[in-house]
Amino acid sequence: MDSLRKPPEITGLFTFYAVNYPQYELHIDDVIAMQKGVSIGKAMENLNILIGSTYEQGFIRFGRFFKVYVQSAPEFRRYPSDPLNLYVKNERGEYVPYSVFMHLEKRQGPNELTRYNLYNSAAIRGLPAPGYTTRDAIEATQEVAQKVLPRGYDIAWEGLSYDEARRGNEALYIFLVVLFFVYLVLAAQYESFILPLAVIFSLPTGIFGHFYFLGSWD
């Protein structure tokens, strides 16, 4: 972000990505869980239901459809340490508190995990500065990325910038193809392969004169 602010072609940079978001990380002791007969998969599934929720079924009453969700009561999931006070059944049907094989640790990390083309990514937004085109901003971004990004990192585009970055010299190729088809149409019309050349070669002069007189009028 600091490097992208230096080129004059780019302005209005911002991102919602942050790596210092306060979080709690759950640490599970597999050995103790195994000694207590607790399956880690079932323990996490149970914790997800208790802290979050799960949709079980629905029923119709009074002519309306009601959904049934299962979760802990609010007073049992009010504070970050509340999951340690919950219980899970082990293989013998006994209730084991999560605090026996799990503890919480405060840490900082990304506020969200986003992926683009299956890769972990961070979205950065920006605009071309006044007096510059989006193409200028794209090329400036690519130059900065080549110089600054370490090995294993790359940039990708989305939205209209994705189409414009892929386009490249596509407009030039389209112009040449259109010019070729115009030549074929004129050749069929004049029944000659030479006369259309006079019309095509006169176009640059006409276009130049048109813009020249427009500039003179302004």
DSSP track, 133-166: -HHHHHHHHHHHHHHHS-TT------THHHHHHH
Token reading at 56: 């079980």
For the segment 60-107, what is each residue's pLDDT rounded down to a tens digit?
Answer: 999 999 999 999 999 998 898 899 999 999 999 999 999 999 999 999
Q: Which residues contact 33 (CB under 8 A, 6 or more apart)?
A: 39, 40, 43, 101
pLDDT at position 208 is: 79
Report the candidate in 164, 142, 162, 144 with the shortest Cα–Cα distance to residue 5. 144
First to last CA, the chain: 41
Same domain for 149 and 184, yes or no, is: no
Output the CA torsion sign for 122, 127, 128, 130: negative
Hey, which residues does 93 pair with through a beta bridge?
A: none
Contact between 93 and 24 under an 8 Å Cβ cutoff? The reply is no
Asked, for residue 4, whether it belongs to a domain, the answer is no
Last residue of a domain, one of 70, 94, 109: 109
Q: Write the DSSP symbol of residue 99.
A: G
Q: Count of residues for the chain?
A: 218
Same domain for 96 and 67, yes or no, is: yes
CATH assignment at residue 100: 3.30.2090.10
Same domain for 158 and 180, yes or no, is: no
Range of the domain at 47: 25-109
pLDDT at position 169 is: 62
Same domain for 96 and 50, yes or no, is: yes
pLDDT at position 213 is: 76
pLDDT at position 141 is: 92
Asked, for residue 3, whether it belongs to a domain, the answer is no
Mean residue pLDDT of the chain comes to 87
Residue 52's Cβ-side half-sphere holds a number of Cα atoms within 13 Å equal to 8
Asked, for residue 5, whether it belongs to a domain, the answer is no
For the segment 159-180, what is each residue's pLDDT rounded down to a tens digit?
Answer: 877 777 776 666 677 878 888 8
Same domain for 121 and 197, yes or no, is: no
Asked, for residue 2, whether it belongs to a domain, the answer is no
Q: Is the pLDDT of residue 154 over 60?
A: yes
pLDDT at position 171 is: 67
**Total domains in the fold of the chain:** 3
Same domain for 134 and 201, yes or no, is: no
Cα–Cα distance measured from residue 60 to residue 177, given in angstroms and rounded to the nearest whole number: 64
Over residues 126-135, mean pLDDT? 89
